[in-house]
Structure 1
C-alpha cells in the first residue's frame, strides 16, 4: 500500500499534499475515536469494578470535547494556583 503511494508520489509530485492531508485526517479521526473510547463516561470497559461510571460525575464536570457556555469559575481545580 505504502509502496504504491510512494510510486505515485514520485511520478506525480503534485499528489503529495493530497496524501498528507488525507493521511492527517485519518490519523485525526482515529485519535478522536480513541479519545471517545477512553475518556467518555458513556463507555464502560471495566464492568466489575465500576459498572456505572456516569453516576460518579458531578454537574460541574466537563466531559464534552467542546462546551459553548462554561462558567470556568465554578469548575473544580485539579492543580494549585501559582
Structure 2
C-alpha cells in the first residue's frame, strides 16, 4: 500500500519512530531507575501533606533487606 500512496511513507516512519522511542524509554525506566520506596526509611515523610501523623515517632515494621 505504501507504493500506491507514497505520501503516507513519512507518516509511517514517524509513527514507527515514536513507538520505538516510547518502548526504549519504558525499557530505560524499568532497568536503570530504582524504585524510590526502597530508599525511604520509616521516619521519612513521603506525603506532601499529612494530617495528624508525626513521622519522627514511627517505628519500622518488618526486616531489613
| TM-score bucket (shorter structure) | 0.5 to 0.7
User: Which structure 2 segments of 5+ residues have no match?
Assistant: 41-65
Match of 1:23 among 7, 10, 16: 16
Identify which of structures 1 and 2 has the higher relative contact order when contacts are C-alpha pairs closer than 8 Å and 6+ apart.
2
Equivalent residue for 2:33?
40
CA RMSD of aligned residues (A): 1.7
Q: CA deviation at 1:33?
A: 0.2
User: Which structure 1 segments of 5+ residues have no match?
Assistant: 1-7, 44-51, 56-82
Q: Note the 1:8-19 alignment, pairs <5 A.
A: 8-19=1-12
Bigger Rg, structure 1 or 2: 2
Q: CA deviation at 1:11?
A: 0.8
Moved over 3 A (4+): none
- Structure 2: how far apart are the matches of 1:42 and 1:20? 34
Provide the aligned length of Structure 1 versus Structure 2: 39
Task: State the TM-score, normalized to the length of structure 1.
Answer: 0.43
- Structure 1: how far apart are the matches of 2:28 and 2:20? 12
